[in-house]
């Protein structure tokens, strides 16, 4: 087994318990029997993991991907391609083959979103949950248009995950652009003073610093770097308008 597979599948902790474990358990057990992955099918239910592992993040995200994709009653090829490319970029082609098998099974199931999000919230740190909302908006934009029903679905997920409305609007503004997007990204009013703008920038730069999600692995860290870059662009745009 490659090192990548060991890191991903061996890093599954709390997702194998609770409602998420119920959703993915059969597929993971099948993969475990077929290919002998460690840490699968063993019913690991201990919540003793101090931080979210890459495997926890990946599997939780697949469940939420499915909910957003089904929000507008359509499953688009562009969205499936986005999921596949996201997995390849962050977990490698070998892991992606198995993750897509798992995802196809997840898409066929109905489940309670509040209970899923409750499990994620109780085990996943806040920066990782913010990262999750960012990725979900990326999925929604995969067909070139962020559908209102998908925005509503992501908003529900954000609420259940304990992501504040300002944080949700900040991430939303990174994808749904208007004349005030830069201000929304920094979570300030359009009449904010230069001092307020600078304070807001420092606060947001700290909140979205890539080091906050370093525990998710180097592959996922680049997503945080994208948000960090967007914060800087918004700040520079506002400075030019002053």
Per the structure, the complete domain to which residue 219 belongs is given by: 3-241
162 neighbors 133 (Cβ within 8 angstroms): no
6 vs 195: CA distance, rounded Å:
48
234 vs 174: CA distance, rounded Å:
9
Q: Tens digit of pLDDT for each residue in 40-63?
A: 544 444 444 446 788 889 899 999
The tokens of 25 are what? 């358990």
Residue 214 pLDDT: 86
> 145 or 105: which carries more pLDDT confidence?
105
N- to C-terminal Cα separation, the chain: 56
CA distances from 10 to 35, 41, 192 (A): 13, 11, 48
Say yes or no to pLDDT of 37 above 70: no
Residue 36 pLDDT: 57
Which of 5-19, 25-39, 43-57, 214-228 has the highest average model confidence (pLDDT)? 214-228
Could you tell me what percent of the chain has a pLDDT over 90?
45
For the entire predicted model, the pTM comes to: 0.85
The tokens of 125 are what? 């740190």
> 78 or 201: which carries more pLDDT confidence?
201
The tokens of 215 are what? 């525990």
Res. 35 pLDDT band, cuts 50 70 90: low
Q: Tens digit of pLDDT for each residue in 167-186?
A: 999 999 999 889 999 999 99
Res. 8 pLDDT band, cuts 50 70 90: low
Q: Tens digit of pLDDT for each residue in 127-150?
A: 999 999 999 998 888 777 778 888
Residue 223 pLDDT: 78
Q: What is the mean pLDDT of residues 28-39?
A: 62
H helix or E strand, kind and range, residue 36: none
48 vs 122: CA distance, rounded Å:
12
Q: What is the mean pLDDT of residues 58-86?
A: 88
The number of distinct structural domains making up the chain is 1
Residue 40 pLDDT: 53
């Amino acid at each position: 087994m490659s090192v990548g597979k060991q890191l991903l599948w061996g890093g599954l902790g709390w997702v194998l318990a609770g409602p998420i474990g119920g959703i993915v358990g059969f597929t993971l057990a099948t993969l475990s029997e077929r290919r002998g992955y460690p840490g699968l099918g063993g019913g690991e239910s201990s919540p003793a993991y101090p931080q979210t592992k890459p495997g926890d993040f990946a599997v939780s995200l697949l469940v939420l991907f499915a909910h957003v994709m089904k929000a507008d009653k359509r499953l688009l090829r562009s969205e499936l391609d986005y999921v596949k490319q996201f997995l390849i970029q962050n977990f490698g082609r070998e892991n992606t083959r198995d993750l897509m098998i798992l995802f196809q099974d997840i898409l066929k199931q109905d489940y309670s979103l509040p209970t899923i999000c409750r499990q994620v919230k109780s085990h996943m740190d806040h920066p990782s949950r913010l990262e999750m909302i960012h990725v979900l908006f990326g999925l929604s934009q995969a067909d070139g248009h962020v559908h209102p029903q998908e925005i509503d679905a992501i908003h529900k997920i954000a609420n259940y995950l304990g992501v504040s409305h300002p944080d949700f609007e900040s991430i939303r503004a990174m994808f749904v652009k208007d004349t005030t997007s830069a201000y929304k990204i920094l979570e300030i009013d359009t009449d904010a003073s230069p001092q307020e703008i600078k304070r807001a920038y420092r606060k947001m730069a700290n909140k979205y610093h890539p080091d906050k999600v370093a525990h998710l692995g180097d592959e996922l860290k680049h997503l945080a770097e994208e948000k960090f870059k967007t914060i800087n662009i918004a700040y520079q745009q506002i400075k030019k308008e002053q």
